[in-house]
Structure 1
């Protein structure tokens, strides 16, 4: 949880600034700026992640301050210490992914993941469980780190030897200038991602107070929802890149059509996810546990997770559209407000105040996500495309003026 919130979530959130900057630059034919924006983002990530890595390396005192179990803290600190060595390649992989996606090259990282994901499973088994090689618990973070390095290496090799190198004109001193707009976009991206991730972690803490059955059920539900989310997340990335390219090219009408098409597709796939989860509600729990109480409770609560899917897909896609427009700060504010001012208080009250238990927590999250998706749809549909394109042009002109100075 600490690794996700203080590490991976930050890296992913910061990298979303390229969905605006790099995508729009590529759309207007300014290939060199795609590489320069990627360099700026890399430097920003290094500045932010260096102190966090140092904290991970020395995490035990911090963990002991919040978790009383000494053995748990010892294991967690060992895990974080090893995992910290995988942050540099993870940064490189995440940047290369957005760098390639801005150019419309989506298949490269798909190939990398198709190869590395099964390999990660094998490495985990060999390093944790194998009787001859396995080293137990600590083998898990080692497997993750090795996978991170392989993903970064393969992604960089793809850019160098296959495709994507046309936007890389070497390291430039321009990467050290004009950070203001990038920082705004990066902060908005971090707020959007961290708001939802942290809300789910808080739900997990709350579920733990209800008992082991509720905690196990919450884990099953979260895992299934994260799995289902991969589809709309991919659609959101594609939508942000497409709209960003069109905004950069000054094609407002085409961007509006692409936005509406993306929303329709989100509804279709969100509905499919919902129907699948609802239809399998009595069987999903058995995939994770042999405990009858967990299986029964999963079947009772999973319909809320199914309801969640349509709005989760809409939220992911409209969030991507806002990134393509360069207005992700709207998504950041909306997520913060509805998750922490409405969803969590309502969910916790329903859970503990009205004794609705785990169902109360999920009703709170569903209310938040409905609100987030509806507001983002309204904002996207009513976008002033001329103003958005003008903002992109002004940013480009400002960049050019600073470079000339």
Structure 2
């Protein structure tokens, strides 16, 4: 426990051995930036590989036919909003709690938070499983094709088998990231991606062994369990056990602190998921080519999102460590790096979108009309990256500070009150067409980025550290 005087001075006292941050060294802007970039590289590869496994399902469904592709897309979209966004929102609490606990020297607290978060996600999984297994009842209100609804429900039922594995992997990644072990996920997914391709070949593509459409969710479920077992093996046999204090009954109680971070984390993640799903739904009103082009731009945006997101996770972990140590000066240095490096990240992604607007679209289609529309949307998606870089990295800072509530409020305003309504008005009432949806999204993201930057700039760091200490003292 630090004295308030040491906190306000930005110093820290003696801690147990922590490899991630060496108190004996003077951390300069360049040394800190180097550390963040070295941590981001393996994480970016991890997120790209994880995203690639989801693309495999779409490719497999497309090989079976148009109906299978539509059913797979509907099922995956349903799961992304009702499941993946929920779980990813909940584990944002670990970005705060695990990194701060590790930074404070309470290394076994990292294992306790991991257990508590995993149990919370399992508790949430129970009602969600009931929904997925009976999702046809809800989907039938929105989709007129009974066959499509039935196939989507079947997909979700088989897919549910693998959800416990996904939960373990998502919380396990944070358990390791808090210890500055960023490359474990890369090693795990380097093995899982070929396995996923093999499973799709056996269960879907190969006529001799294919089980048809259900082979796609079965392959996903097996992959989920494989990555969870591989991450466990990494911890047990390679690195990460130092933060495991054993199973604890404490994981069954005192969920309130974690839920105070998890609930706004869920709101924050779901807001963006829903915004993109609604934009694809609205794009359908402009015709088949429009929805295809919108899907291309959205998929590319999701893919390139992995790079700044990896960087934001490392920033979040690093700031969390500094806050746990009471080192306000170190946390402020990382915020300085955030403000100065976000423009470069945004410009880099913009250049990829702008100069590759035709080449990237050709990866998805050869239809000339779709290519023309998609190329125009890619330019707008690139412009969006300029502000979204501040948004993504700023979210990482807020997670490290434990201020997910601010992020959830700003996200809700940006997407539900600005991006979606304004996009609708521009697209349909003012006749800007498909581009209008992106204009609304860009303006919403600009507001979100500006709001987060202001919130970070005026941070009361001494208060943040004190709140962190009280939260961990009650754990």
Question: TM > 0.5 between the two?
Answer: yes
Matched, 1:129 2:205: yes
- Output the TM-score relative to the length of structure 2: 0.82
Cα distance in 2 for residues equivalent to 1:374 and 1:188: 19
271, 288, 298: which one aligns with 2:347: 271
Which residue of the partner structure matches residue 382 of structure 1? 458
Match of 2:427 in 1: 351
Q: Which residue is 2:266 aligned to? A: 190
The equivalences for 1:165-180 within 5 A come to 165-180=241-256
Aligned to 1:110: 186
For residue 141 of structure 2, give the secondary structure of its aligned residue in structure 1. helix
- Which of the residues 216, 222, 244 maps onto 2:320? 244
Equivalent runs, 1:191-340 vs 2, <5 Å: 191-340=267-416
1:40 and 2:40 equivalent?
A: no
Is 1:143–2:219 an aligned residue pair? yes
- Residue 6 (str. 1) matches residue 82 (str. 2): yes
Partner of 1:164: 240
Equivalent position SS for 1:66: coil
In the alignment, is the contact (CA less than 8 A) between 1:129 and 1:135 conserved in 2?
A: no
Distance 1:338 1:158 in 2: 40
Deviation digits for residues 333-353 of structure 1 (CA, Å, limit 9, x no counterpart):
000011101111100011111
2:128 aligned with 1:57, yes or no? no
Cα distance in 2, alignment partners of residues 393 and 95 from structure 1: 22
| Residue number among 72, 85, 101 corresponding to 2:161 in the alignment | 85
Gaps of 5+ in 1: 400-405
List alignment gaps of at least 5 residues for structure 2: 1-76
> Offset at 1:80?
0.2
Per-residue CA shift, 1:17-54, capped at 9, x if unaligned? 01111110000000111111111111111111111112
SS of the residue corresponding to residue 357 of structure 2 reads coil
Deviations 1:153-204 (A, max 9, x none): 0001111111111111111111122221211100111011100000000001
Q: Any idea what SS the aligned residue of 2:105 has?
A: coil
Shift in Å, 1:318? 0.6
Q: 2: CA distance between counterparts of 1:80 and 1:369?
A: 32
Q: Deviations over 1:271-320 (max 9, x none)?
A: 11101110011222222112111001112221110001122221111101
Calculate the TM-score normalised by the size of structure 1: 0.96
Shift of residue 65, structure 1, vs aligned partner: 2.9
* Aligned position for 1:100: 176
1:402 paired residue number = none
For residues 200 and 431 of structure 2, what CA distance do their matches in structure 1 show?
40
How many residues are paired up?
A: 399
Larger mean Cα displacement after TM superposition, 180-189 or 120-129: 120-129
Q: Aligned partners of 1:314 and 1:115: how far apart in 2?
A: 33
Query: Does the 8 Å CA contact 1:19/1:98 hold for their aligned counterparts?
Result: yes
Q: Match of 1:293, SS?
A: helix
